[in-house]
Structure 1
Amino acid sequence: MAKMKTRALRQQLPAPAARLAALLACAWLAFAPLAYAQQAEPAYQPRTGDAWLDRHLADINLYAARYPQSFADEISRYYSVPRDYVEAMQQQPSWEAGDIFMACALAQALAQPCRAVVREWSHDHSEGWKGVSRRLQSGPGPVLQRKLRNDVEQSYSRWARPLKK
Protein backbone atom coordinates (compact mmCIF):
# COMPACT_ATOMS: atom_id res chain seq x y z
CA MET A 1 0.00 0.00 0.00
CA ALA A 2 2.82 2.42 0.90
CA LYS A 3 4.55 1.55 -2.38
CA MET A 4 1.45 2.48 -4.35
CA LYS A 5 1.15 5.85 -2.59
CA THR A 6 4.81 6.64 -3.25
CA ARG A 7 4.47 5.69 -6.92
CA ALA A 8 1.29 7.79 -7.28
CA LEU A 9 2.96 10.74 -5.56
CA ARG A 10 6.00 10.52 -7.89
CA GLN A 11 3.73 10.57 -10.91
CA GLN A 12 2.06 13.77 -9.67
CA LEU A 13 5.35 15.65 -9.05
CA PRO A 14 7.04 17.12 -12.10
CA ALA A 15 10.48 15.98 -13.15
CA PRO A 16 13.46 17.90 -11.66
CA ALA A 17 14.06 19.75 -14.95
CA ALA A 18 10.44 20.86 -15.10
CA ARG A 19 10.57 22.03 -11.48
CA LEU A 20 13.73 24.01 -12.21
CA ALA A 21 12.15 25.61 -15.27
CA ALA A 22 9.07 26.57 -13.26
CA LEU A 23 11.25 28.03 -10.51
CA LEU A 24 13.29 30.06 -13.01
CA ALA A 25 10.12 31.34 -14.68
CA CYS A 26 8.75 32.50 -11.33
CA ALA A 27 12.03 34.19 -10.45
CA TRP A 28 12.12 35.94 -13.82
CA LEU A 29 8.55 37.17 -13.42
CA ALA A 30 9.36 38.45 -9.94
CA PHE A 31 12.57 40.29 -10.81
CA ALA A 32 12.13 41.31 -14.47
CA PRO A 33 10.27 44.56 -13.67
CA LEU A 34 13.02 45.54 -11.20
CA ALA A 35 15.79 44.79 -13.69
CA TYR A 36 13.97 46.74 -16.41
CA ALA A 37 13.48 49.74 -14.14
CA GLN A 38 17.17 49.78 -13.28
CA GLN A 39 18.13 49.67 -16.96
CA ALA A 40 15.55 52.24 -18.02
CA GLU A 41 16.73 54.90 -15.59
CA PRO A 42 20.49 55.03 -15.02
CA ALA A 43 21.73 56.13 -11.63
CA TYR A 44 22.61 59.77 -11.19
CA GLN A 45 26.31 60.31 -11.92
CA PRO A 46 27.53 63.89 -11.49
CA ARG A 47 31.19 62.87 -12.00
CA THR A 48 32.80 65.68 -10.01
CA GLY A 49 36.02 63.74 -9.48
CA ASP A 50 35.21 63.50 -5.77
CA ALA A 51 33.26 60.41 -4.66
CA TRP A 52 32.10 62.12 -1.43
CA LEU A 53 30.70 65.05 -3.37
CA ASP A 54 29.06 62.73 -5.93
CA ARG A 55 27.27 60.81 -3.15
CA HIS A 56 25.99 63.98 -1.55
CA LEU A 57 24.80 65.49 -4.82
CA ALA A 58 22.77 62.31 -5.36
CA ASP A 59 21.38 62.68 -1.84
CA ILE A 60 20.50 66.32 -2.57
CA ASN A 61 18.31 64.97 -5.38
CA LEU A 62 16.38 62.96 -2.78
CA TYR A 63 16.07 65.95 -0.45
CA ALA A 64 14.87 68.26 -3.24
CA ALA A 65 12.33 65.70 -4.44
CA ARG A 66 10.79 65.67 -0.97
CA TYR A 67 11.26 69.37 -0.12
CA PRO A 68 11.37 71.28 -3.43
CA GLN A 69 10.47 74.63 -1.86
CA SER A 70 13.17 74.38 0.80
CA PHE A 71 15.69 73.43 -1.84
CA ALA A 72 14.70 76.42 -4.00
CA ASP A 73 14.94 78.69 -0.92
CA GLU A 74 18.45 77.39 -0.19
CA ILE A 75 19.77 78.01 -3.68
CA SER A 76 18.09 81.38 -3.97
CA ARG A 77 19.17 82.66 -0.58
CA TYR A 78 22.71 81.33 -0.25
CA TYR A 79 23.81 81.39 -3.88
CA SER A 80 22.15 84.66 -4.92
CA VAL A 81 20.08 83.10 -7.70
CA PRO A 82 16.57 84.41 -8.41
CA ARG A 83 14.02 81.97 -7.03
CA ASP A 84 12.09 81.97 -10.32
CA TYR A 85 15.24 80.81 -12.09
CA VAL A 86 15.76 77.97 -9.60
CA GLU A 87 12.13 76.88 -9.91
CA ALA A 88 12.37 76.96 -13.72
CA MET A 89 15.47 74.76 -13.56
CA GLN A 90 13.68 72.35 -11.23
CA GLN A 91 11.02 71.92 -13.92
CA GLN A 92 13.57 70.97 -16.59
CA PRO A 93 13.73 67.18 -17.01
CA SER A 94 17.41 67.36 -17.97
CA TRP A 95 18.37 69.06 -14.68
CA GLU A 96 18.66 67.22 -11.38
CA ALA A 97 18.66 69.08 -8.07
CA GLY A 98 22.28 67.98 -7.52
CA ASP A 99 23.20 69.62 -10.82
CA ILE A 100 21.41 72.84 -9.87
CA PHE A 101 23.22 72.88 -6.54
CA MET A 102 26.56 72.15 -8.21
CA ALA A 103 26.09 74.80 -10.90
CA CYS A 104 25.26 77.53 -8.40
CA ALA A 105 27.88 76.50 -5.82
CA LEU A 106 30.56 76.22 -8.51
CA ALA A 107 29.56 79.59 -9.92
CA GLN A 108 29.86 81.23 -6.51
CA ALA A 109 33.24 79.58 -5.88
CA LEU A 110 34.51 80.86 -9.25
CA ALA A 111 32.94 84.32 -8.82
CA GLN A 112 30.76 83.81 -11.90
CA PRO A 113 27.01 84.07 -12.36
CA CYS A 114 25.12 80.79 -12.00
CA ARG A 115 23.68 81.27 -15.50
CA ALA A 116 27.20 81.12 -16.98
CA VAL A 117 27.85 77.74 -15.36
CA VAL A 118 24.38 76.52 -16.35
CA ARG A 119 25.14 77.47 -19.97
CA GLU A 120 28.49 75.65 -19.84
CA TRP A 121 26.87 72.50 -18.40
CA SER A 122 24.05 72.65 -20.95
CA HIS A 123 26.55 73.12 -23.78
CA ASP A 124 28.59 70.01 -22.91
CA HIS A 125 28.57 67.82 -19.82
CA SER A 126 29.95 64.65 -21.36
CA GLU A 127 32.84 64.72 -18.87
CA GLY A 128 30.59 65.51 -15.91
CA TRP A 129 31.13 68.36 -13.48
CA LYS A 130 34.86 67.71 -13.43
CA GLY A 131 35.03 68.58 -17.13
CA VAL A 132 32.84 71.65 -16.72
CA SER A 133 34.99 72.84 -13.83
CA ARG A 134 38.15 72.29 -15.85
CA ARG A 135 36.79 74.36 -18.75
CA LEU A 136 35.73 77.22 -16.47
CA GLN A 137 39.11 77.43 -14.72
CA SER A 138 42.54 75.85 -14.82
CA GLY A 139 41.32 72.63 -13.16
CA PRO A 140 39.20 71.29 -10.31
CA GLY A 141 41.89 71.82 -7.70
CA PRO A 142 41.85 70.92 -4.01
CA VAL A 143 40.83 74.42 -2.88
CA LEU A 144 37.72 74.33 -5.06
CA GLN A 145 36.86 70.79 -3.87
CA ARG A 146 37.13 71.91 -0.23
CA LYS A 147 34.90 74.92 -0.94
CA LEU A 148 32.25 72.76 -2.62
CA ARG A 149 32.36 70.21 0.23
CA ASN A 150 31.98 73.04 2.71
CA ASP A 151 28.95 74.33 0.80
CA VAL A 152 27.34 70.89 1.00
CA GLU A 153 28.08 70.64 4.72
CA GLN A 154 26.57 74.07 5.39
CA SER A 155 23.41 73.25 3.42
CA TYR A 156 23.00 69.96 5.28
CA SER A 157 23.37 71.83 8.54
CA ARG A 158 20.66 74.34 7.58
CA TRP A 159 18.41 71.47 6.46
CA ALA A 160 19.10 69.57 9.72
CA ARG A 161 20.00 66.64 7.47
CA PRO A 162 22.56 64.12 8.72
CA LEU A 163 25.80 64.30 6.79
CA LYS A 164 27.07 60.90 5.66
CA LYS A 165 30.83 60.59 5.83
Structure 2
Amino acid sequence: MKNKLLITLFLFGLVAAAGAQAVTIGFSPRTGDVWVDTRLGDINTYGRGNPNGFIDDVVGGFGAPRPLVRELYYDRGWAPGDIYFACALASQLGRPCLEVVDYYDRNRGQGWGVVAQRLGIKPGSSAFHALKGRVGKGHERLHGRGGPKASGGPKGGRDAGPPQARDQGGGKPDKGNKGKGNEGKGNGKGR
Protein backbone atom coordinates (compact mmCIF):
# COMPACT_ATOMS: atom_id res chain seq x y z
CA MET A 1 0.00 0.00 0.00
CA LYS A 2 2.81 2.40 0.91
CA ASN A 3 4.61 1.63 -2.35
CA LYS A 4 1.47 2.34 -4.40
CA LEU A 5 1.11 5.69 -2.65
CA LEU A 6 4.74 6.58 -3.36
CA ILE A 7 4.39 5.55 -7.00
CA THR A 8 1.20 7.56 -7.35
CA LEU A 9 2.84 10.63 -5.79
CA PHE A 10 5.88 10.20 -8.03
CA LEU A 11 3.74 9.95 -11.17
CA PHE A 12 1.69 12.96 -10.07
CA GLY A 13 4.93 14.91 -9.62
CA LEU A 14 6.09 13.94 -13.12
CA VAL A 15 2.80 15.04 -14.65
CA ALA A 16 2.89 18.35 -12.77
CA ALA A 17 6.50 18.98 -13.80
CA ALA A 18 5.72 18.15 -17.43
CA GLY A 19 2.77 20.55 -17.38
CA ALA A 20 4.87 23.37 -15.95
CA GLN A 21 7.63 22.70 -18.47
CA ALA A 22 5.14 22.66 -21.34
CA VAL A 23 4.24 26.26 -20.51
CA THR A 24 7.87 27.27 -20.99
CA ILE A 25 8.63 24.95 -23.91
CA GLY A 26 5.40 25.79 -25.78
CA PHE A 27 5.99 29.54 -25.53
CA SER A 28 7.63 30.99 -28.65
CA PRO A 29 7.63 34.79 -28.91
CA ARG A 30 9.70 34.85 -32.11
CA THR A 31 11.27 38.25 -31.57
CA GLY A 32 14.16 37.45 -33.87
CA ASP A 33 16.61 37.65 -30.97
CA VAL A 34 17.49 34.48 -29.05
CA TRP A 35 18.53 36.44 -25.94
CA VAL A 36 15.19 38.29 -25.81
CA ASP A 37 13.23 35.10 -26.50
CA THR A 38 15.04 33.37 -23.62
CA ARG A 39 14.34 36.24 -21.20
CA LEU A 40 10.68 36.32 -22.26
CA GLY A 41 10.50 32.56 -21.67
CA ASP A 42 11.76 33.11 -18.11
CA ILE A 43 9.28 35.97 -17.63
CA ASN A 44 6.54 33.69 -18.95
CA THR A 45 7.42 31.03 -16.37
CA TYR A 46 7.55 33.61 -13.58
CA GLY A 47 4.20 35.09 -14.64
CA ARG A 48 2.52 31.67 -14.58
CA GLY A 49 3.81 31.04 -11.06
CA ASN A 50 3.14 34.51 -9.64
CA PRO A 51 0.26 36.18 -11.51
CA ASN A 52 -0.22 39.03 -9.03
CA GLY A 53 3.48 39.93 -8.89
CA PHE A 54 3.70 39.72 -12.67
CA ILE A 55 0.66 41.95 -13.21
CA ASP A 56 1.97 44.46 -10.65
CA ASP A 57 5.30 44.59 -12.47
CA VAL A 58 3.77 45.17 -15.91
CA VAL A 59 1.47 47.87 -14.56
CA GLY A 60 4.22 49.57 -12.55
CA GLY A 61 6.99 49.05 -15.07
CA PHE A 62 5.20 50.19 -18.21
CA GLY A 63 2.19 52.15 -16.98
CA ALA A 64 -0.14 49.64 -18.61
CA PRO A 65 -3.72 49.79 -17.38
CA ARG A 66 -4.29 47.08 -14.75
CA PRO A 67 -7.72 46.10 -16.18
CA LEU A 68 -6.11 45.48 -19.58
CA VAL A 69 -3.27 43.37 -18.16
CA ARG A 70 -5.71 41.33 -16.06
CA GLU A 71 -8.00 40.85 -19.06
CA LEU A 72 -5.13 39.64 -21.23
CA TYR A 73 -3.92 37.27 -18.53
CA TYR A 74 -7.16 35.86 -17.17
CA ASP A 75 -9.85 36.34 -19.81
CA ARG A 76 -7.98 36.21 -23.11
CA GLY A 77 -5.39 33.64 -22.05
CA TRP A 78 -2.34 35.53 -23.29
CA ALA A 79 1.02 34.12 -22.22
CA PRO A 80 2.73 36.36 -19.63
CA GLY A 81 5.74 36.72 -21.94
CA ASP A 82 3.48 38.08 -24.70
CA ILE A 83 1.80 40.50 -22.31
CA TYR A 84 5.16 41.69 -21.06
CA PHE A 85 6.59 42.22 -24.54
CA ALA A 86 3.45 43.97 -25.80
CA CYS A 87 3.60 46.49 -22.97
CA ALA A 88 7.39 46.89 -23.22
CA LEU A 89 7.08 47.52 -26.96
CA ALA A 90 4.24 49.97 -26.44
CA SER A 91 6.20 51.82 -23.78
CA GLN A 92 9.26 52.00 -26.06
CA LEU A 93 7.12 53.38 -28.89
CA GLY A 94 5.27 55.83 -26.62
CA ARG A 95 1.94 54.23 -27.55
CA PRO A 96 -0.82 52.73 -25.42
CA CYS A 97 -0.38 49.03 -24.68
CA LEU A 98 -3.89 48.37 -26.04
CA GLU A 99 -2.82 49.65 -29.47
CA VAL A 100 0.07 47.16 -29.64
CA VAL A 101 -2.14 44.36 -28.26
CA ASP A 102 -4.74 44.99 -30.98
CA TYR A 103 -2.09 45.08 -33.69
CA TYR A 104 -0.53 41.83 -32.45
CA ASP A 105 -3.94 40.15 -32.31
CA ARG A 106 -4.45 40.99 -35.98
CA ASN A 107 -0.94 39.79 -36.90
CA ARG A 108 -0.28 37.04 -34.33
CA GLY A 109 1.06 34.55 -36.87
CA GLN A 110 3.93 36.89 -37.73
CA GLY A 111 5.68 36.80 -34.34
CA TRP A 112 6.88 39.71 -32.23
CA GLY A 113 9.94 40.45 -34.36
CA VAL A 114 7.85 41.21 -37.45
CA VAL A 115 5.29 43.13 -35.40
CA ALA A 116 7.99 45.28 -33.75
CA GLN A 117 9.55 46.00 -37.13
CA ARG A 118 6.22 46.97 -38.69
CA LEU A 119 5.56 49.29 -35.76
CA GLY A 120 8.90 51.03 -36.35
CA ILE A 121 11.57 49.19 -34.34
CA LYS A 122 14.18 47.92 -36.78
CA PRO A 123 16.51 45.06 -35.79
CA GLY A 124 19.84 46.37 -34.52
CA SER A 125 18.59 49.96 -34.17
CA SER A 126 19.05 52.00 -31.02
CA ALA A 127 15.30 51.62 -30.35
CA PHE A 128 15.69 47.83 -30.61
CA HIS A 129 18.59 47.85 -28.15
CA ALA A 130 16.59 50.04 -25.76
CA LEU A 131 13.67 47.58 -25.98
CA LYS A 132 16.06 44.70 -25.38
CA GLY A 133 17.37 46.54 -22.31
CA ARG A 134 13.84 46.95 -20.98
CA VAL A 135 13.23 43.22 -21.30
CA GLY A 136 16.54 42.50 -19.57
CA LYS A 137 15.81 44.87 -16.70
CA GLY A 138 12.34 43.40 -16.28
CA HIS A 139 13.82 39.91 -16.22
CA GLU A 140 16.26 40.98 -13.50
CA ARG A 141 13.52 42.72 -11.51
CA LEU A 142 11.23 39.70 -11.61
CA HIS A 143 14.06 37.44 -10.53
CA GLY A 144 15.14 39.70 -7.64
CA ARG A 145 18.37 40.93 -9.22
CA GLY A 146 18.22 44.67 -9.41
CA GLY A 147 15.55 47.23 -9.89
CA PRO A 148 13.17 48.84 -7.44
CA LYS A 149 11.78 45.62 -5.98
CA ALA A 150 15.18 44.20 -5.08
CA SER A 151 17.17 47.29 -4.17
CA GLY A 152 14.55 49.74 -3.01
CA GLY A 153 15.67 52.36 -5.53
CA PRO A 154 15.67 53.24 -9.19
CA LYS A 155 19.20 52.00 -9.99
CA GLY A 156 18.79 49.45 -12.76
CA GLY A 157 15.01 49.58 -12.52
CA ARG A 158 12.24 51.09 -14.54
CA ASP A 159 13.46 54.62 -13.85
CA ALA A 160 16.89 53.89 -15.29
CA GLY A 161 17.76 54.85 -18.85
CA PRO A 162 17.37 57.95 -20.93
CA PRO A 163 14.78 60.54 -19.84
CA GLN A 164 12.75 60.13 -23.03
CA ALA A 165 12.18 56.44 -22.16
CA ARG A 166 11.16 57.30 -18.60
CA ASP A 167 8.71 59.99 -19.68
CA GLN A 168 6.62 57.72 -21.91
CA GLY A 169 4.19 56.32 -19.41
CA GLY A 170 6.69 54.12 -17.57
CA GLY A 171 6.11 55.47 -14.09
CA LYS A 172 3.27 55.82 -11.69
CA PRO A 173 0.35 57.97 -12.77
CA ASP A 174 0.55 61.64 -11.91
CA LYS A 175 -2.80 62.56 -10.41
CA GLY A 176 -2.43 66.12 -11.63
CA ASN A 177 -2.33 65.07 -15.29
CA LYS A 178 -5.50 63.02 -15.67
CA GLY A 179 -6.90 62.94 -19.15
CA LYS A 180 -3.68 64.02 -20.89
CA GLY A 181 -3.56 60.78 -22.90
CA ASN A 182 -0.41 59.27 -21.41
CA GLU A 183 -0.40 55.55 -20.75
CA GLY A 184 -1.45 54.73 -17.21
CA LYS A 185 -3.20 58.06 -16.81
CA GLY A 186 -6.79 58.85 -17.48
CA ASN A 187 -10.09 57.06 -17.16
CA GLY A 188 -8.82 53.45 -16.82
CA LYS A 189 -10.70 52.18 -19.89
CA GLY A 190 -7.64 50.43 -21.32
CA ARG A 191 -6.16 53.33 -23.24
Q: TM-score w.r.t. structure 1 length? A: 0.67
What are the ranges of 5 or more consecutive residues in structure 2 without an aligned counterpart? 1-14, 147-191
1:101 counterpart (76, 84, 92): 84
Give per-residue Cα distances to partners, 1:11-39, cap 9 Å, x unaligned: xxxxxxxxxxxxxxxxxxxxxx9xxx8xx
The 8 Å contact of residues 43 and 80 in structure 2, kept in 1 or not, is answered as: yes
Give per-residue Cα distances to partners, 1:32-87, cap 9 Å, x unaligned: x9xxx8xx987211110100000111111110011111110011111111112111
Which letter does structure 2 place at the counterpart of 1:58? G
CA pair 133-88 structure 1, distance change in 2 beyond 3 A: same
CA pair 111-50 structure 1, distance change in 2 beyond 3 A: same
Equivalent residue, structure 2, for 1:129: 112
Give per-residue Cα distances to partners, 1:66-122, cap 9 Å, x unaligned: 111111001111111111211111014551101001000001111111111000100
Which letter does structure 2 place at the counterpart of 1:50? D
Bigger helix share: 1
Which one scores higher on RCO, CA 8 angstroms, separation ≥ 6? 2
DSSP-derived class of the 2:99 partner: helix
Q: TM-score w.r.t. structure 2 length? A: 0.59
Shift >6 Å, 4+ stretches: none
Taking the TM superposition and a 5 Å limit, the aligned residue runs for 1:104-115 are 104-115=87-98
What are the ranges of 5 or more consecutive residues in structure 1 without an aligned counterpart? 1-32
Residue 151 of structure 1: CA displacement?
A: 1.2
1:159 counterpart (142, 145, 169): 142
Whole-Å Cα distance in 2 between the matches of residues 116 and 62 of structure 1?
25
Equivalent residue, structure 2, for 1:140: 123
**Percentage of identical aligned residues:** 34
Residue 155 of structure 1: CA displacement?
A: 1.8
1:51 counterpart (34, 52, 62): 34
Q: Which has the larger radius of gyration?
A: 1
CA pair 84-119 structure 1, distance change in 2 beyond 3 A: same
The 8 Å contact of residues 43 and 81 in structure 2, kept in 1 or not, is answered as: yes
CA pair 111-43 structure 1, distance change in 2 beyond 3 A: same
Whole-Å Cα distance in 2 between the matches of residues 84 and 94 of structure 1?
14
